[in-house]
Amino acid sequence: MLDFIRNHKRITQIILLLFIIPSFIFVGVEGYKRFNNTDGVVSVKREAGPFSFLHKDYVITQQEWDNAVRQQVEVMRQQAAAQGRPFDAKLADSKEFKWQVLQQLTNKYALQYAVSKENLSVPEQVVLDKIRQIPGLVDENGNFNQQKYEQILAGRGLTPEGHVAMMGQEMSMQQVPAPIQFSVIPPKAVGKRLINLFTQEREVQKKVFSLAGYKGQVSVTDEDLDKYYKDHAKQFTIPEHADIELVVLDQGAAEKSVTITENDLQGYYNQNKDRFAIPEQRRAQHILILTPRGAKDAEKEEAKKKAEEVLAQVRANPARFAELAKTYSQDPGSAKNGGDLGYFARGKMVKEFSDATFALQKGDVSDLVQTEYGFHIIMVTDIKPAVPKTLAQVRDAVMQELKRAQVSKKYAEMSETFSNMVYEKSDSLKPVADAMGLKIHSFKDLQRDPGAAAQQNPMLANPTLLEKVFSDDCVKGKHNTEAVEIAPQVLVSARIAQHYPASLVPFEKVKAGIQTAVTDEKALALAKAAGEAELASLKDGGAPAGFSAPEKISRPKIAQSGRLDMAPVMKADATKLPAYVGVERPGEGYVIYRVTNVIIPEKVDPRMEEAMNRQMQGTNSALELFSYIEYLRKMAGVEFLIKKPGEEEAK
């Protein structure tokens, strides 16, 4: 597992595309479950609205938040590994990052509210077409590699059906911000002004007060060198580090121990045949008479009486159901359609509603059905019976599900053995490696810093693992670390082969470098003092002398050359010319820039203008979308139960 990401970047990138294409994929399908725990960080209370009886009040729990953070960190870690760059674990452990993930979770629920309110959906064929466009899953002949797709999903604990459902939900939510993102038109005057600022050129002369011209005036004492050495001790310190050994237990190791026979497959299919069938679906119409949240008994009785009156009219003439729904139903999402809810499977509505619907036959009308939203009158208009599928039809799905269950069970057994062995035989990793067929990996010069550790291997950057490796028990006791979960279903244990405490490089070894650094510091101070004195004189009207020939610079040229020290030239007030700017350049000296002219180009590269306009549109769209999401949060009743990082400290 440790080497897989580095050695299989192409496959890793495909996996990331599968799970990053949805714009809000943090917790997968399970994240859409409603929670009712008291351990809540955000509460969501929806007011009555279109199809509101589908949704219950719920909270985002601490557990859901933690799961979202872990999964987002894992996605970021795999992104970094696929791109061959280190992953900064410190960033992912920050309060600000975790708060950002929580914001994304609330955004998701706000968008779900909008999807429900607007009855948005995406046809399954559109979703399938989107999946078939994922790079890496289509060969040179344009054929979709279904086997590779299913293998990747199985590794993430998903079936194709589950992934299609998840993508459908996410693509439905993407429809909400799309009109805002593509309808914002940047103001032309603002756009023109920004393009002028970006493309304008300035004619500049410079006068350099270089270090070389002042080094002869500098004297460096032993006290100066000693002070610099002490003041910059961290710069001359070799950080604590260690050579370590490490073993990894992951699902791959468990999978090697799992064998599924034909009898296993047939038996599992027989036990779960109903789940692999297309479930029975019913189409229904309903009339809803609302009871307000927190309604008193008298109000409930009044709503019930009204519902009974409507029910009597329905029973007198069931053919008028749609007409009566348009007149009396207080569910605006379905009333305008005659109360029609379309087809749905058992359990897709709240329990009371679902149970009543599936107890009826086609054409039947229910008695009053009370839910937390009010009183419903239900008529079943059509029934699609369950459609069984043979083992041959669902063989791959059955195999994946059974294998996933067996691997999960085996991993649980192996993880317990792994955890016990690294603790009980704590003086070596060889016993657990031999017993479980695991490889012992070796890494040299591992540091405590997650950023430095990530450069060796992204998985070494786990803060908990680093804390355990450099604990007294490992450093002084020479023991294995306890089993540490560094990613979902990935356990590791490590031990130190050789420990190197932090040490200060002896003064004599760095004396020459310190001599140069101190000399440069003092020379720069003299150059800066001389330059600032002349700058003051020039601003007071002094005659310029010693300046170079003029050159033209612009913001793009500065960025392309990497000379960001020249950026102040473009910020200088050019309403009165010449204008002067002084800039300190460590290692070189002090420079005075003299701005003599500002040139606005008559024509702008159309490609640049288009890019600037797109950037402006993106910025404006983001601001508009942020405001709309805030509105949706309010409508969805989102309320944070915890303080934003920094708020408590401010109080």
**What would the two tokens of residue 102 be?**
């929580």
Listed as own residue / partner, the contacts of 127-134 with beta carbons closer than 8 Å and 24 or more positions apart are 127/164, 127/167, 127/168, 127/171, 128/164, 130/21, 130/167, 130/171, 131/163, 131/164, 131/167, 134/14, 134/17, 134/18, 134/21
* Structure confidence at residue 30 (pLDDT): 32
Query: Of 535, 558, 536, which is closest to residue 547 (Cα–Cα)?
Result: 535
Q: Tens digit of pLDDT for each residue in 144-180?
A: 787 777 777 765 656 777 788 888 888 888 887 777 7
Whether pTM exceeds 0.85: no
The Cβ of residue 341 has, within 10 Å, a number of other Cβ atoms equal to 23
Q: Give the residue among 444, 491, 437 at the shortest CA–CA distance from 468.
A: 491
Backbone phi and psi for residue 158, each to the nearest 5 degrees, phi listed first: -125, 150
To the nearest 10°, report the CA torsion of 448, 451, 456, 461.
70
In this structure, are residues 486 and 507 in contact, taking their beta carbons and an 8 Å threshold?
no
Which CATH fold topology does 278-384 show? Answer: Chitinase A; domain 3 (3.10.50)
Residue 23 has pLDDT above 70, yes or no: no
- Which residue ranges make up each domain of the chain? 4-184+625-650, 201-211+507-599, 241-257+399-501, 278-384
Tell me phi and psi for residue 138, to 5 degrees: -120, 125
What dihedral angle (degrees, nearest 10) is formed by the CA atoms of 585, 586, 587, 592? 20
Which is it for strands 551-554 and 201-210: parallel, antiparallel or unpaired? antiparallel
Which tokens go with 374? 């009010």
Averaged pLDDT, 480-505: 94
Q: Report, as an integer, the average pLDDT of 452-478.
A: 90
Q: What percent of the chain clears pLDDT 70, i.e. is strictly above it?
A: 87
Q: Is the peptide bond before 645 cis (omega within 30 degrees of 0)?
A: no
Q: What is the pLDDT of residue 200?
A: 87
Range of lowest pLDDT (10-19, 92-101, 414-423): 10-19
Q: Which residue has the higher pLDDT, 120 or 88?
A: 120
Amino acid 642: pLDDT: 87
CA distance 351 to 281: 15
DSSP string, 480-493: PPPPEEEETTEEEE
CA–CA dist 511, 508 (Å, integer): 5
Three-class secondary structure of residue 364 per DSSP? coil
In this predicted structure, what is the pLDDT of residue 156? 61
Amino acid letter, 541? G
Which residues face 377 on adjacent strands?
Answer: 287
Q: What is the pLDDT, as a whole number, of residue 521?
A: 94
249: which strand partners? 491
Q: Helix (H) and strand (E) counts for the chain? A: 27, 17
**Dihedral, CA atoms, 641, 642, 644, 650, nearest 10 degrees?**
120
Helix (H, G, I), strand (E, B) or coil at 184: coil
CA distance 290 to 293: 9
CB 511 within 8 A of CB 270: no
Q: The tokens of 624 are what?
A: 């508009």
- Phi-psi label, residue 45: left if phi above 0, alpha if psi -120 to 50, beta otherwise: beta
- pLDDT band at 287; cut points 50, 70, 90: very high
pLDDT at 87: 67
Instruction: Name the least confident of 406-415, 426-435, 473-482, 559-568.
Output: 559-568
In the three-class reduction of DSSP (H, G, I as helix; E, B as strand; rest coil), residue 385 is classed as coil
Give the separation between CA 245 and CA 519, rounded to whole angstroms: 45
Lookup: tokens for 74 = 């894992």
Answer with the residue of higher pLDDT: 353 or 9: 353
- State the pLDDT at residue 501: 95
Stated length of the chain: 651
Q: What is the pLDDT of residue 50?
A: 39
Sheet holding 40-44, edge to edge: 58-61, 40-44, 638-640
Q: What is the mean pLDDT of the chain?
A: 83
Structure tokens, 309: 């009156």
Cβ atoms of 625 and 180 within 8 Å: the answer is yes
Which residue intervals of 317-390 are DSSP H helices?
Answer: 321-328, 332-335, 351-357
